[in-house]
Structures are given as C-alpha cells and as structure tokens.
C-alpha cells in the first residue's frame, strides 16, 4: 500500500496546510537518465545558489508517460536578472513577461520565474510556486519535478488525471481560451499524442471559442504549426484539429480542400507522416499535394521556362500556406524538392544587380 505524502505551507493562522501531493520515484517512474544532463546542471546550479527550482511542463508529462522529451523547461523562484547572473551563457527575452534562455551549444533551455496571480491568469508579475501552478493550462502540464530528491510535486491532481487519462483544465473554462486561444490547439495535440479523453465541458468550450484563433498573430500560428509538423503524431494531431473545426485557422486553404475532397484529405495526412520520419523537407507536406493537384490542372505548362515555373510555384505555395509565414529559405527548400519530385524543370530566378 502506498503511503500518501504531502507538501505543506503555513496558513494565515501560522499552522501547516496541505498544499500538494508528493510522489516518489517508485510511484512516478521517471528515469533520470532520460533527462538532458544540461537541464540537470541548470537545476543544480540554481539550487546551489539557494533558488527553489524544478523541471516543469511537457517534459515532466512525457517522462511520466515513458517518452523521452525534446525540450526541457525549468521554473524557479530566481528572477531573470538573477538567472542571467548565474549563467553567463544566457539571455533575457520577452517584453511583457521576461524569462531567460540558457544556451548549451545549439540547445536552448527556457528558465522562467514563478508567476503571480495578482493580475489574474494572464498577468505579468512574479510570484510563488503555489501561484505559478494555477497559471498553467491543464493539470497534466502542471507537475513539478525535483531532480535532487527525484520527487514529483502535484498541486492540482495532475497525476490522478493522467492515471485516469483525462485532460482537465486548471484555468476556469470561461477564460482559459480567451486568455490564450492557442491553448485549444495544444489541448487537441495532447489528446492526439496521449490518447487521453477531453471532458465534454472542455469540448464544448473549444467549439464555442474556436473563432478566437482568428485573432492570434501569424507568427504564433506559424510557431504552433511548425511544432505540429515536427511531431511524430502529426497526422493524428491534424486529423483531430480538423475534426474540431480549428484547422482552417492554421491552414485555411488546406482545410477547405480537405473538406471538399476525401482523396486530398487522405493524401495530405499521409504526407504529414513523411515529415516526422525525416524523409522530406520540413514544409513539404503542407504544400506538396496542393502543387501536385495544380500541376494536374496545367499550372506549369511545358512552354514555361524553369524560372517561370519556380516563380509560379513560389507564389502558389506562399498563398496556400497562409496565415503561416515561415522563413523563405525553408519554403524554397521544400519547393526545390517538390518540383524535382514532379519532374518539372524549375530554377530560382537570379536577382539582377542594379548599377
């Protein structure tokens, strides 16, 4: 029988109050060898400087599920300036809520300061761990891992929800998506990758608030799409986002064609599966099936020059992936591969220098 352990804090009357459940390694089963040594080093150095610090978010979730995370985020009571003082290989980012990026070669570790509830769930002041946990989106993302004692600290019942395979929100339903509409996409991504169920009230709120995604900046929608493309479960994620009626806010033209043609729908999802395997260029799955269809319609006649074909393909592809605005070099790389695969002569136009 497992003996429950608790984390306490002092109440207003000075007496200890139970605040969180504490799980040991034989309960959470996280293998510390699956955590990047640099992330562990960051945690250790912060603690050596007397700052409470934990591994948080998706990394803890994936480790509990037996997956090896790609990203390791850290939360601490140290301020951004204090983090910068400890780590010379870091820089402070953000205009409203500042946090630190710590660099080890080409790896970037996000280190954020505990956030306060003073200004609600979207304020930008620093606070305590008890407040910070209530600022996070879903319970499965709100677990804190103490690497020194190998403990998982759970303030919101996240371990229970993961065991029961449910995605439950922490922030009240009436504001969770108005504060950040991208959380709808992330919720569906978690459901697709974990197989966890979405409660009916949360499903209804996603459908009610779907149109809020239209107000999200193109840069954030691009960032979220790039994360989806890189995910091994990209076809399943896109399929679920499409079923909920959200994909049109990420890839409007693709969603329209998926709705109109089952053949395009199947081909598009199959192409997304090729990306995660590393067999194709990053953006290729998003535009290849569209350009193949345009070629069938005669978009690239034999009378065209290689440069004309390139310019036409670039214009079509750029318009098709809106509102995404990826780096031009990535789009050009994908176009080169696609045009070669279709056997169409194409050449990037040479820029003429003005004298």
Active site residue 137: yes
Tokens standing for 309? 């074909």
Active site residue 73: yes
**Given 71, 146, 180, 253, which residue is catalytic?**
71
Residues 339, 310: contact at Cβ < 8 Å? Answer: yes
Rounded-to-integer distance, Cα 291 and Cα 273, Å: 18
**Given 36, 62, 132, 137, which residue is catalytic?**
137
Does residue 78 come out as left (phi exceeding 0), alpha (psi in the -120 to 50 range) or beta? beta
Among candidate residues 142, 152, 144, the one with its CA nearest the CA of residue 27: 152
Residues 140, 155: contact at Cβ < 8 Å? Answer: no
Half-sphere exposure of 310 (CA within 13 A, CB side): 16
Active site residue 71: yes
Tokens standing for 244? 């909920």
Q: How many CB atoms lie within 10 A of CB 309?
A: 22
Rounded-to-integer distance, Cα 9 and Cα 14, Å: 9
**Given 62, 73, 161, 209, which residue is catalytic?**
73
Catalytic residues: 71, 73, 137
């Amino acid at each position: 029988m497992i003996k429950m352990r608790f984390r306490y804090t002092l109440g207003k009357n000075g007496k200890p109050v139970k605040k969180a459940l504490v799980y040991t390694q034989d309960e959470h089963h996280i293998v510390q060898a699956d955590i990047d040594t640099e992330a562990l080093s960051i945690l250790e150095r912060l603690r050596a400087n007397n700052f409470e610090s934990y591994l948080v978010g998706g990394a803890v979730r994936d480790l509990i599920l037996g997956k090896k995370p790609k990203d390791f985020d850290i939360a601490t009571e140290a301020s951004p300036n204090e983090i910068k003082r400890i780590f010379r290989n870091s820089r402070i980012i953000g205009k409203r809520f500042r946090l630190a990026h710590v660099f080890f070669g080409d790896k970037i570790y996000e280190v954020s300061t505990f956030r306060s509830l003073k200004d609600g769930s979207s304020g930008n002041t620093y606070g305590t761990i008890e407040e910070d946990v209530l600022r996070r989106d879903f319970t499965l993302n709100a677990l804190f891992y103490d690497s020194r004692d190998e403990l998982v600290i759970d303030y919101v019942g996240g371990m229970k929800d993961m065991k029961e395979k449910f995605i439950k929100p922490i922030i009240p339903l009436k504001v969770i998506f108005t504060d950040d509409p991208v959380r709808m996409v992330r919720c569906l991504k978690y459901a697709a990758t974990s197989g966890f169920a979405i409660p009916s009230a949360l499903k209804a709120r996603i459908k009610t608030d779907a149109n809020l995604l239209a107000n999200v900046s193109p840069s954030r929608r691009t960032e979220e799409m790039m994360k989806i493309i890189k995910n091994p479960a990209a076809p399943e994620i896109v399929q679920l986002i499409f079923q909920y009626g959200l994909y049109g806010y990420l890839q409007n033209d693709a969603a329209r064609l998926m709705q109109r043609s089952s053949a395009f729908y199947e081909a598009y999802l199959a192409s997304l599966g090729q990306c995660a395997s590393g067999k194709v260029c990053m953006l290729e799955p998003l535009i290849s099936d569209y350009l193949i269809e345009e070629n069938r319609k005669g978009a690239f006649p034999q009378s065209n020059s290689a440069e004309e074909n390139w310019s036409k393909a670039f214009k079509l592809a750029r318009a098709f992936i809106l509102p995404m605005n990826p780096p031009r070099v990535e789009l050009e790389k994908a176009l080169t591969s696609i045009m070669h695969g279709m056997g169409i002569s194409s050449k990037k136009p040479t820029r003429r220098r003005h004298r």
